[in-house]
Amino acid sequence: MNQENEIKKTKRRDVNPPYKKGLKLAFLVVILAGGLIIGRLFYINSEKGLDYSKAVLLQRSYRSRSIAAKRGSILDRNGIILARSEKKYNVIIDPRQILEKDYYLEPSIDAMVKYLGYDADEIRTLIYDNPDSSYVVYEKDADYSKISAYKKYQADKLRVTGVWFEEEFSRIYPYSTLASHVLGFVNREGMGSYGLEQYYNDELSGTAGLSYTYFDSDLKQKKIVENAVDGYELVTTIDYNVERIVEEKVKDFLDTTGAKNIGVIVMDPNDASILAMASNREYNLNDPRDLSTCYPTSEIMFMSESDKLEKMYGMWKNFCISDTYEPGSTFKTMTVAAALDENAIDTDDTFYCAGYSEVGGWRIGCNNKYGHGTLSLSQALMKSCNCALMEIAAKLGKDSFYRYQSKFGFGAKTGIDLPGESSGILIPLKNLNETELATSSFGTTFNVTMIQIAAAYASIINGGTYYQPHVVREIRRSDKTVVSNYNDMGVRQTISEGTASFIKNALFLTVESGTATPAKVEGYLIGGKTGTAQKRPREEKRFVVSFAGFAPVTDPKVLVYIVIDEVADPELSASSSPATKLCAAIMKEILPYLGVYPDGDIDYHVDLTMIDDSENENYDPFEDEKNTDVLPEGIDDEIE
């Protein structure tokens, strides 16, 4: 009996073991916690729900959009607009906003149909296909009269919503191709490409604004507008009429004679400001990818896409600052000026030319194979005698020669405010030995850019002050207040006024009775120096011809520098006459325009005593325009 009772007690203990109590306790805790959470949620919803809604909405931007800044205009020196931006409007549809309320849809569509001329079914489909989008560009460059009518109607119609008008600016070049290599263009992303548009992109671009809508603490919509800041204007040194004249002359030359490349720089030598700059054929700035301004349609048809792209890059490149070449005899002016300034030679010195000189074991020919005989210093420039220049450079010495190359700005960028400038290539001083010095003296075996030569010449004819070439005169706000302007301070002194005066006189004689007589313009005192350089490889007989001219000699107001790479006419390919004649044609038109008028009887005020013929009976002044094989075969390899 007792044993039976014990068994029953044990069975009763097994029915309610200890862990059952733990489960009950856990269950009660869960029920209690759940009740607390539910109670808290009810409390939050009833007491704090509005506050939390506000917090969420305050962090949510309902709608924001960028406000385009107006790109600054580019003007010529007289205020003629060369590039400007015009405002255009894009129609933006916001399907998400239209679908927020059932009663927005049809009134909004009706308004778009009535005032914007859209198709109702097409708009309805667009809205339903893009329910989560707040930005659908439906029409670009919309008619402003339609936009104005829509805005007037929508102003007091609360149910008409979901349409807004995005402002953007389109870049316009009123004269299409004028100064294309100076101006550059704006690409599809709105960034400047090439020319001033690229160099001054930050100044021109301005700062975009922002418009956005948000909910305030009372859940009211608020609109904030941060206005765009327009870009600065550029007032350039370019003269519209001078640029137009130059481009017309270049086009005529390419149409009638032809060349691989041609460049023209017109500069005010008194501050190195650019009046005009033309590089081959100008392209259409309003459609810069259109090759038809530079290539015939029959040629474009057979171009591959890669060929077209290559042609575009070539079309956009500015030959006047990007390409390098051997300057040839135009550099002789700098060699003579350096030697005079260092007192290595005197203005009364004479030189003898036998048609060649033996230098460093090489026989280097003069450009006149018969020789010039005895020459004065002025005649050495007038007749462009290589032998005289080699002798002058030897007296100057390689250290001084190299130093003056640097003083005149060669071997380094001029700093002109245009992108893509090259620095040229000089023979290093350590390699400038006897032969290298001789060949460099008359402008071979080293490379320069057009802008370097123009700036160097400007420093000589203005009395010896080197100015940094520049295209922009001032930067100003749209209200015409000036932000910055060009400082007319010279960078450095290259030569003395006395040396400059002698060189100007010698260059006048070069035009009057030397190698540059085709550059004469009736009624004007023109000075200048020709150049002809044989390209490498020399045996291919390809030439770069050039001329640097200025006027009037007694008080220079304008410098014209012309380079023609591979004249198409084989009879003229090695002659500087195409460059001198082109300069004369340009000078004849731009000098009167610039207020420099011809005189009836010219009072020369220059020394004419050096005008005489060489004693050499075989001398032909026009032979000096040509560059024969002045460098013996193999000398380039030796120099390099």
What value does the mean pLDDT take over residues 404-422? 98
- What sign results for the dihedral spanned by CA atoms 629, 632, 634, 640? negative
Residue 17 has pLDDT above 80, yes or no: no
What value does the mean pLDDT take over residues 104-132? 93
Q: Which pLDDT value is given to residue 476?
A: 97
Name the pLDDT band for 314 (thresholds 50, 70, 90). Answer: very high
Instruction: Please state, rounded to an integer, the average pLDDT across all residues of the chain.
Output: 88
Q: Which pLDDT value is given to residue 634?
A: 73
Name the pLDDT band for 18 (thresholds 50, 70, 90). Answer: low
Residue 14 has pLDDT above 90, yes or no: no
pLDDT in tens, 81-114: 999 999 888 999 999 999 988 899 999 999 999 9
* Whether pTM exceeds 0.85: no
Burial letters 197-231, b for 16+ CB under 10 A, else e: bbbbbebbbbeebebeebbeeeeeeeeeeeebebb
Compute the distance between CA of residue 490 and CA of residue 477 in angstroms, rounded to an integer. Answer: 27
Region of 523 (left: φ > 0; alpha: ψ -120 to 50; beta: rest) is left
Q: Which pLDDT value is given to residue 619?
A: 41
CATH number 3.90.1310.10 given to 65-236: yes
Q: Which pLDDT value is given to residue 226?
A: 83
Q: Which pLDDT value is given to residue 621?
A: 46
Q: Which pLDDT value is given to residue 490?
A: 85
pLDDT in tens, 454-479: 999 999 999 999 999 999 999 999 88
Name the pLDDT band for 228 (thresholds 50, 70, 90). Answer: confident
**In this structure, which topology does domain 278-282+318-477+488-639 adopt according to CATH?**
Beta-lactamase (3.40.710)
From start to end of 145-230, where are the E strands? 163-172, 185-186, 192-193, 209-215, 221-226
Residue 58 has pLDDT above 60, yes or no: no
Query: pLDDT: is 451 or 621 the higher one?
Result: 451
Say what angle helices 450-461 and 332-341 make with each other, to 10 degrees. 40
Kindly state the percentage of the chain with pLDDT values over 70.
83
Q: Which pLDDT value is given to residue 515?
A: 93
Query: pLDDT: is 515 or 631 the higher one?
Result: 515
Q: Which pLDDT value is given to residue 141?
A: 87
pLDDT in tens, 25-38: 666 666 776 666 76
Name the pLDDT band for 384 (thresholds 50, 70, 90). Answer: very high
Q: Which pLDDT value is given to residue 598?
A: 87
Q: Are 444 and 631 in contact (CB under 8 A)?
A: yes
- What sign results for the dihedral spanned by CA atoms 567, 569, 573, 575? negative
Name the pLDDT band for 611 (thresholds 50, 70, 90). Answer: very low
What value does the mean pLDDT take over residues 142-149? 90
- Single-letter code of the amino acid located at 222: K
Name the pLDDT band for 612 (thresholds 50, 70, 90). Answer: very low
Q: What token pair was written down for 365? A: 């020919």
Residue 13 has pLDDT above 80, yes or no: no
Q: What token pair was written down for 23? A: 């489960």
Compute the distance between CA of residue 594 and CA of residue 125 in angstroms, rounded to an integer. Answer: 64
- Farthest-apart Cα atoms in the chain, separation: 163
Query: pLDDT: is 382 or 3 the higher one?
Result: 382
What value does the mean pLDDT take over residues 427-451? 97
The domain limits of the chain are: 65-236, 278-282+318-477+488-639
For residue 312, the Cα-to-chain-centroid distance in whole angstroms is 15
Residue 10 has pLDDT above 60, yes or no: no
What value does the mean pLDDT take over residues 556-576? 96
Residue 7 has pLDDT above 60, yes or no: no
H/E stretch holding 638 reads helix 635-639
Which of 65-69, 245-249, 316-320 has the weakest average pLDDT?
Answer: 65-69
Q: Which pLDDT value is given to residue 615?
A: 39
Query: pLDDT: is 167 or 462 the higher one?
Result: 462
Name the pLDDT band for 575 (thresholds 50, 70, 90). Answer: very high
